[in-house]
């Protein structure tokens, strides 16, 4: 897996202060995407031991609420296996931290993936520039949903994050 950046003390990509891992690779290629530089799965840097240590050092800080996987698309074929394993390990090592995941895929197409068992919130759907609204909370366009994953799995229907 490759990545472009690890953002620290982020308040825009989920609730609380977060660490954001911006992965490389996206096949959605949404018009007016805020991060087209992350589309190339061969771009950025190798997510190596040092990068993982940096991520875990940030997560260990008591004031950090959790991690957000974004990009690119964490569910891109070049990322899904590594992001799933990383989410699983984060859930084990930091059980009180939340895990958010941004993807251009729809919930209905990813609900059966292993990774959803480790994630608290999924922001799904492609960014649609004609549905952009700067007043939206934690999403870029009106079609996207901020999904409470545990509630959704429990209720067997999409439950939005409050």
Q: Is 132 a residue whose pLDDT tops 90? A: no
Q: Is 133 a residue whose pLDDT tops 90? A: no
Quickly state the pLDDT bin for 137 (edges 50, 70, 90).
confident
Q: What is the pTM of this model?
A: 0.95
Read off the pLDDT of residues 60-104 as tens digits, 9 standing for 90 and up. 999 999 999 999 999 999 999 999 999 999 999 999 999 999 999
Q: Judging by beta carbons within 10 Å of its beta carbon (0-12, 13-18, 19+), is residue 38 exposed, middle or buried? A: buried
Residue 161 lies in a domain: no
Q: Is 117 a residue whose pLDDT tops 90? A: yes
Q: Residue 3: in which H helix or E strand, if any?
A: strand 2-10
Q: What is the pLDDT of residue 101?
A: 98
Tell me how many domains the chain contains.
1
Residue 52 lies in a domain: yes
- Domain span at 73: 2-155
Residue 117 lies in a domain: yes
Q: What is the pLDDT of residue 19?
A: 98
Q: What is the CATH number of the domain that holds 45?
A: 3.20.20.70
Q: What is the pLDDT of residue 162?
A: 83
d(CA 129, CA 30): 8
Q: Judging by beta carbons within 10 Å of its beta carbon (0-12, 13-18, 19+), is residue 152 exposed, middle or buried? A: buried
d(CA 159, CA 75): 21
Read off the pLDDT of residues 26-68 as tens digits, 9 standing for 90 and up. 998 888 878 888 889 999 999 999 999 999 999 999 999 999 9
Q: What is the pLDDT of residue 37?
A: 86
Residue 150 lies in a domain: yes
């Amino acid at each position: 897996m490759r990545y472009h950046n690890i953002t620290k003390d982020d308040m825009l990509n989920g609730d609380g202060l977060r660490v954001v891992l911006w992965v490389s690779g996206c096949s959605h290629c949404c018009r007016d995407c805020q991060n087209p530089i992350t589309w190339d799965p061969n771009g950025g840097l190798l997510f190596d031991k040092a990068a993982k240590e940096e991520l875990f050092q940030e997560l260990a800080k008591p004031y950090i609420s959790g991690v957000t996987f974004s990009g690119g698309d964490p569910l891109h074929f070049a990322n899904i296996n590594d992001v799933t394993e990383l989410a699983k390990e984060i859930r084990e090592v930091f059980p009180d931290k939340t895990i958010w995941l941004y993807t251009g895929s729809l919930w209905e197409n990813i609900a059966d993936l292993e990774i959803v068992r480790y994630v608290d919130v999924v922001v799904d759907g492609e960014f649609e520039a004609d549905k952009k609204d700067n007043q939206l909370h934690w999403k870029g366009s009106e079609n996207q949903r901020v999904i409470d994953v545990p509630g959704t799995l429990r209720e067997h229907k999409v439950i939005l994050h409050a």
